[in-house]
């Protein structure tokens, strides 16, 4: 290690969460200016942004959450796992746009934890990233999250501690819009997951194995067992999962929900998996996609949609006579799960592989093809600042990197309040990465500058993706791959407000 590197590291070591420090602006395309101050989670700017968000007399919703260990039934499979309140998914939290949500978390796990409110542009000190926005919540202790919920839509929450997301620690967070509801009659939340915990290993053991085996461990292509996807342009996952789930159930014993024929049902689809994208469709029924990642899009018809890890899609279907499955097919894997929609007096046995094969023939809508509704579209302009995010890996020890570096919370990509920011992501790997940004909903710049508003977007192997956002939520914000193993192995960076 050179002397220069030592000094460089030492300077960063003096930085605590919320502290101020001098940072260089080397990676920035705007003229470098040395001598800037980080806007940390406890800075006055964060408190000001929160009070600007909060309406006088905003309603408050209080929830108690217990993160616990115990046996959960996944539909014919019993597992000893970690969950919120002993159920998988955890109980949904439902609020209205503008409400103040207060969640008292009690950590009864044998490890420290945290909660990240995925997709919400909330106050930075409540974002739930240990080491960046808060301290870990130690075992046998409590932490209270409290924040204004700024936007309506379909969200979820999960820990941001190690690979805990790949246990049963996730639940939907639905934010109702008082102005919504005219174009559907009822709704159904469906959370998708890939499951290995408590079957043959824990997620921590799975990560250890990946790291021990490094690049060779996944045996992509040679073993035949690893998932591949033409649509996603390469490898579709790094692990073999014994089960995939829809609302916590395997295909053998699916959940069902009752709807009358002719009812328009808004499906709120959430992918909470760690390593699996899903194709979702309702055989014989067209879907009208209305939102992605919480934000409205120009309504778009589809038979099947692709949903990567961390992405959400809302789509309205009109209930036919009888019963139909909502099928979720794990991309590149021979696995699927379903939730059954059925008329009050009908029954339905789980569908077989024929229905899956039929759905696999249909065109798949990718979320980046969608277009933001006019009222939420970010008008394109010349960016004030551009940051490249070059995605690489895996290395010898299963290292995944952004810009050639492992995650370093003290070495962020600097931006300033009010800037129009562009992130230019380039995927130099052979696998897709669902890239997620905390605290903002960016505008994907697809062809002709059109695209959806999203917080998580698939970047395909060998391809690039530009996303733009307005820097209007001060703080230190993670951007990372939502494959939880990639993120944990280094594919994370910080978008850092400075002044
Ligand atoms: Cu749902 Cu940082 O992620
Ligand atoms: Cu990734």
Q: How far apart are CA 432 and CA 306, in angstroms?
A: 13
Domain co-membership, 119 together with 77: yes
Domain co-membership, 392 together with 449: yes
Instruction: Domain count for the chain, please give it.
Output: 3
Average the pLDDT over each of 119-133, 163-177, 206-220 and give the range with the smallest value: 206-220
Residue pLDDT, tens place only, 294-338? 999 999 999 999 999 999 999 999 999 999 999 999 999 999 999
pLDDT of the residue at 22: 38
Residue 221 in any domain: the answer is no
pLDDT of the residue at 366: 97
Q: State the distance from the centre of ligand 2 to the C-alpha of 381, rounded, in angstroms.
A: 29
The percentage of residues in the chain with a pLDDT greater than 90, rounded to a whole number, is: 85
Burial of 30 (0-12, 13-18, 19+ CB in 10 A): middle
Q: Which atom of ligand 1 is nearest to the CA of 478?
A: 2
Domain co-membership, 291 together with 312: yes
Domain co-membership, 79 together with 133: yes
Pick the residue whose CA is nearest to atom 3 on ligand 1. 118
Residue 489 in any domain: the answer is yes
Q: Which ligand is nearest to the CA of 494?
A: 1
Domain co-membership, 33 together with 122: no
Q: State the distance from the centre of ligand 2 to the C-alpha of 74, rounded, in angstroms.
A: 27
Q: State the distance from the centre of ligand 2 to the C-alpha of 181, rounded, in angstroms.
A: 35
Residue 220 in any domain: the answer is no
Residue 44 in any domain: the answer is no
Residue pLDDT, tens place only, 163-188? 999 999 999 999 999 887 778 999 99
Q: State the distance from the centre of ligand 1 to the C-alpha of 299, rounded, in angstroms.
A: 27
Q: What is the pTM of this model?
A: 0.93
Residue 228 in any domain: the answer is no
Domain co-membership, 170 together with 273: no
Residue pLDDT, tens place only, 352-405? 899 999 999 999 999 999 999 999 999 999 999 999 999 999 999 999 999 999
Under the banding of pLDDT at 50, 70 and 90, the label for residue 21 is very low
pLDDT of the residue at 224: 53
Q: Which atom of ligand 1 is nearest to the CA of 158?
A: 1
Residue pLDDT, tens place only, 90-109? 999 999 999 999 999 999 99
Residue 206 in any domain: the answer is no
Q: State the distance from the centre of ligand 2 to the C-alpha of 275, rounded, in angstroms.
A: 9
Domain co-membership, 328 together with 409: no
Domain co-membership, 59 together with 164: yes
Domain co-membership, 192 together with 308: yes
Residue pLDDT, tens place only, 448-466? 788 999 999 999 999 999 9
Burial code (b: 16+ CB inside 10 Å, e: under 16) for 295-304 equals: bbbeebebbb
Residue pLDDT, tens place only, 22-51? 343 334 444 445 558 999 999 999 999 999
pLDDT of the residue at 28: 42
Domain co-membership, 356 together with 420: no
Pick the residue whose CA is nearest to atom 1 on ligand 1. 118
Q: Which of 340, 365, 390 is the last residue of a domain?
A: 365
pLDDT of the residue at 311: 99
Under the banding of pLDDT at 50, 70 and 90, the label for residue 264 is very high
**pLDDT over threshold 70, residue 4:** no
Residue 275 in any domain: the answer is yes
**pLDDT over threshold 50, residue 5:** no
pLDDT of the residue at 215: 65
Under the banding of pLDDT at 50, 70 and 90, the label for residue 73 is very high
Domain co-membership, 337 together with 392: no
Residue pLDDT, tens place only, 464-486? 999 999 999 999 999 999 999 99
CATH number at residue 249: 2.60.40.420
Higher pLDDT, 31 or 344: 344
Higher pLDDT, 160 or 1: 160
Q: Which ligand is nearest to the CA of 272?
A: 1
pLDDT of the residue at 216: 54
Q: Which ligand is nearest to the CA of 483?
A: 2
Average pLDDT, the chain: 91
Q: Which positions ≥6 away from 229 have C-beta within 8 Å? A: 235, 236, 277, 331, 332, 432
Q: Which of 365, 388, 406 is the last residue of a domain?
A: 365
pLDDT of the residue at 375: 95
pLDDT of the residue at 62: 98
Q: Which atom of ligand 1 is nearest to the CA of 119?
A: 1
Q: Which of 316, 344, 365 is the last residue of a domain?
A: 365
Q: Which residues line ligand 1 (CB under 6 A)?
A: 116, 118, 158, 160, 310, 436, 438, 478, 480, 482
Residue 49 in any domain: the answer is no
Domain that holds residue 378: 2-37+374-497
Calculate mean pLDDT across residues 65-70: 98
Domain co-membership, 441 together with 410: yes
Under the banding of pLDDT at 50, 70 and 90, the label for residue 487 is very high
Under the banding of pLDDT at 50, 70 and 90, the label for residue 217 is low
Q: Which atom of ligand 1 is nearest to the CA of 165?
A: 1
């Amino acid at each position: 290690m050179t002397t220069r590197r030592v000094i460089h590291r030492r300077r960063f070591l003096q930085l605590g969460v919320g502290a101020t420090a001098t940072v260089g602006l080397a990676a920035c395309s705007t003229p470098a200016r040395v001598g800037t101050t980080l806007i940390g989670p406890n800075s006055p700017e964060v408190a000001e942004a929160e009070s600007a968000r909060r309406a006088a007399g905003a309603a408050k919703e209080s929830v108690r959450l217990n993160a616990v260990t115990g046996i959960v039934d996944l539909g014919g499979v019993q597992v000893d796992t970690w969950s919120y309140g002993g159920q998988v998914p955890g109980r949904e939290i439902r609020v209205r746009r503008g409400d103040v949500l207060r969640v008292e978390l009690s950590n009864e796990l044998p490890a420290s934890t945290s909660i990240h409110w995925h997709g919400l542009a909330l106050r930075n000190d409540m974002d739930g990233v240990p080491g960046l926005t808060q301290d870990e919540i130690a075992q046998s202790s409590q932490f209270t999250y409290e924040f204004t919920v700024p936007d309506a839509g379909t969200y979820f929450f999960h820990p941001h501690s190690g690979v805990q997301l790949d246990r049963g620690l996730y639940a939907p967070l639905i934010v109702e819009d008082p102005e919504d509801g005219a174009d559907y009659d009822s709704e159904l939340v469906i959370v998708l997951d890939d499951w290995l915990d408590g079957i043959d290993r824990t997620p921590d053991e799975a990560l250890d194995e990946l790291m021990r085996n490094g690049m060779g461990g996944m045996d992509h292509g040679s073993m035949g067992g690893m998932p591949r996807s033409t649509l996603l342009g390469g490898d579709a996952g790094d692990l073999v999962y014994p089960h995939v789930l829809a609302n916590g159930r395997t295909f053998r014993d699916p959940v069902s929900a009752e709807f009358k024929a002719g009812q328009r049902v808004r499906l709120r689809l959430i992918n909470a998996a760690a390593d699996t994208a899903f194709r979702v469709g309702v055989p014989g029924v067209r879907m009208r996609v209305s939102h992605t990642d919480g934000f409205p899009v120009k309504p778009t018809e589809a038979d099947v949609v692709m949903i990567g890890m961390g992405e959400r899609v809302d789509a309205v279907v009109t209930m036919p006579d009888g019963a139909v499955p909502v099928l979720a097919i794990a991309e590149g894997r021979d696995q699927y799960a379903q939730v059954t929609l059925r008329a009050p007096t009908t029954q339905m046995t789980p569908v077989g592989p024929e229905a899956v094969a039929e759905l696999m023939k249909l065109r798949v809508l990718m979320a980046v093809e969608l277009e933001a509704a006019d009222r939420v579209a970010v008008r394109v302009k010349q960016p004030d600042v551009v940051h490249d995010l070059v995605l690489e890996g895996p290395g010898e020890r299963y290292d995944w990197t952004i810009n050639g570096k492992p995650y370093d919370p003290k070495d962020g990509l600097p931006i300033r309040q009010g800037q129009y920011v562009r992130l230019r992501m380039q995927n130099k790997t052979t696998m897709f990465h669902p890239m997620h940004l905390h605290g903002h909903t960016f505008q994907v710049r697809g062809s002709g500058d059109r695209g959806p508003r999203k917080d998580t977007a698939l970047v395909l192997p060998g391809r690039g993706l530009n996303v733009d956002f307005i820097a209007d939520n001060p703080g230190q914000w993670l951007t990372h791959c939502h494959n939880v193993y990639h993120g944990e192995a280094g594919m994370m960076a910080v978008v850092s407000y400075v002044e």
